[in-house]
Amino acid sequence: MRLIEQHWYRPRGWLTALLAPLEGLFALLAALRRQAFRRGWKTSEKLAVPVAVIGNINVGGVGKTPLTLALLRDFAARGVKAGVISRGYGGEAATPTEVKPDSDPAVVGDEPLLLAASGAPVVVGRDRVAAGRHLLALHPDVELILSDDGLQHYRLARDLEIAVLDGKRGLGNGRLLPNGPLREPPSRLETVDAAVVNGGDGALALPAGLPRFEMTLRPSACHALDDASRTRDAAGFAGLNVVVLAGIGHPERFFDTLAGQGIAVDRRLSFPDHHAFVPGDIPADADAVIVTSKDAVKLARALHDAAQRARLWVLPVQATLAPDLCEWILARLKTKHGR
């Protein structure tokens, strides 16, 4: 699997040829599904409030969760009550389930738990239409729903589609799964309403006329797993055996962010996205283990030994956007719905 993922960004000719038949089958099935909704063979269902989808056409971490958190923060600052629906990847919930700050990530998933910590109402469910209706039944004051991922969940009608892209990796080799990292062809970007580019040098090419927003992830000081008020800067880790651990879609971005903080790291450990951590995943010889906020919500549940928990530190990041995406969304919805 790692060879294939490397091939997505550093193509190998022989592997391209080998995977071409599978790519063709994936492309056919994806195209048939899109056409089924476009031609009315399958119908999309609307919710009672506007829906903005925050999604991507490629697999792997692109920064959807920090973006959604930033939008929730900005909507709240403007007095707009926004809620979130999510598939809840990594969770076992089969029916619509509300996510509370103390929910079990094994049930609701890791990213929804992180989103719920913001105070916004969050519901997970494999059927996002049902999830949206459940959210509105529980929170009838919600004025806008953000669908975390779901760009390809066409049964849910949406008012806005916002595609998130990695500014450094872009679309890789531009090919569909499993020959490349794409769920849909690059031409799909011609039909979304806006693109958010996470990092990079601004050189990523987008369709002409597509509104573009640049996202920057700004880290804060590391804080203790069990006490967010206890912080530590790079000097505080000097002389320690420091391990950085990540179970996210694109761990290299987190590793680079940590390096930018000037923290000397002895070892980097990568786990699959949505990995279910166990105590044995934490190196016994590490003086300090630095993790992402997303992994922290699972590790807080998985680790019960006080000494082991005391060695864990979390590096939080906050997304900033230029220009103001929240304001743009509200303006577009006002034009569309007069609200």
For 262-298, the pLDDT digits (tens) are 999 999 999 999 899 999 999 999 999 999 999 999 9
CATH of range 38-80+143-216+321-337; options 3.40.50.300, 1.10.1060.10, 2.40.50.100, 2.40.110.20: 3.40.50.300
Residue ranges matching CATH 3.40.50.300 in the chain? 38-80+143-216+321-337
Q: How far apart are CA 224 and CA 123, in angstroms?
A: 28
**DSSP sequence for 109-136:** -HHHHHHHTTT--EEE-SSHHHHHHHHH
Using CA atoms, how far residue 255 sits from 66, 247, 265, 267, 292, in Å, is 16, 12, 9, 10, 10
Q: Would you place residue 202 in the very low, low, confident or very high pLDDT band (cuts 50, 70, 90)?
A: confident
Q: Which pLDDT value is given to residue 2?
A: 80
The one-letter amino acid code at 39 reads: R
Q: What is the mean pLDDT of residues 16-41?
A: 94
Q: Is 61 annotated as a binding residue?
A: yes
In angstroms, the first-to-last Cα distance of the chain is 47
Instruction: Name the DSSP class of 318.
Output: E
Q: Would you place residue 200 in the very low, low, confident or very high pLDDT band (cuts 50, 70, 90)?
A: confident
Does 338 have pLDDT greater than 60?
no
Does 335 have pLDDT greater than 80?
no
Give Rg (Cα) of the chain: 20
Rounded to 5°, the CA angle 110-115-116 comes to 95
Asked if residue 321 lies in contact with residue 196, where contact means CB atoms within 8 angstroms, the answer is yes
pTM of the entire predicted model? 0.94
Q: Which pLDDT value is given to residue 149?
A: 87
Does 58 have pLDDT greater than 90?
yes
Q: Which pLDDT value is given to residue 27?
A: 95
Q: Is 58 annotated as a binding residue?
A: yes
- Dmax (CA) for the chain in angstroms is 64
Q: What is the mean pLDDT of residues 220-240?
A: 96
Give the other-Cβ count within 10 Å of 207's Cβ.
14
Q: What is the mean pLDDT of residues 62-73?
A: 96
Q: Which pLDDT value is given to residue 162?
A: 98
Give the other-Cβ count within 10 Å of 315's Cβ.
21
Q: Is 63 annotated as a binding residue?
A: yes
Q: Which pLDDT value is given to residue 11?
A: 94
Instruction: Name the DSSP class of 80.
Output: -
Q: Is 198 annotated as a binding residue?
A: no
Q: How far apart are CA 263 and CA 261, in angstroms?
A: 6
Q: Which pLDDT value is given to residue 169?
A: 92
Q: Which pLDDT value is given to residue 89?
A: 85
Does 67 have pLDDT greater than 80?
yes
Q: Is 91 annotated as a binding residue?
A: no
Q: What is the mean pLDDT of residues 100-129?
A: 94
Length of the chain: 339
Question: Which of helix, strand or coil describes residue 71?
Answer: helix
Q: Which pLDDT value is given to residue 263?
A: 93
Sequence-ordered alpha helix ranges (H) in 43-170: 64-77, 105-108, 110-116, 128-138
Does 339 have pLDDT greater than 90?
no
Q: Is 65 annotated as a binding residue?
A: yes
Q: Which pLDDT value is given to residue 101?
A: 87
**DSSP sequence for 273-304:** TT----GGGS-TT-SEEEEEHHHHHHHHHH--
Q: Which pLDDT value is given to residue 144?
A: 97
Rounded to 5°, the CA angle 217-300-77 comes to 40
Averaged pLDDT of the chain: 94
Instruction: Name the DSSP class of 58.
Output: B
What are 278's two structure tokens?
């166990």
* 323 HSE (CA, 13 A, CB side): 6
Q: State percent of the chain over pLDDT 70.
A: 98
Q: Which pLDDT value is given to residue 336?
A: 63
Q: What is the mean pLDDT of residues 233-257?
A: 94
Sheet holding 312-315, edge to edge: 227-232, 222-224, 312-315, 288-292, 242-246, 267-270
Does 94 have pLDDT greater than 90?
no
Q: What is the mean pLDDT of residues 73-97?
A: 94
Q: How far apart are CA 258 and CA 243, in angstroms?
A: 11
Q: Is 294 annotated as a binding residue?
A: no
- Name the residue with higher pLDDT: 334 or 227: 227
CATH of range 221-315; options 1.10.10, 3.60.21, 3.40.190, 3.40.50: 3.40.50
What are 116's two structure tokens?
């719920």
Does 57 have pLDDT greater than 60?
yes
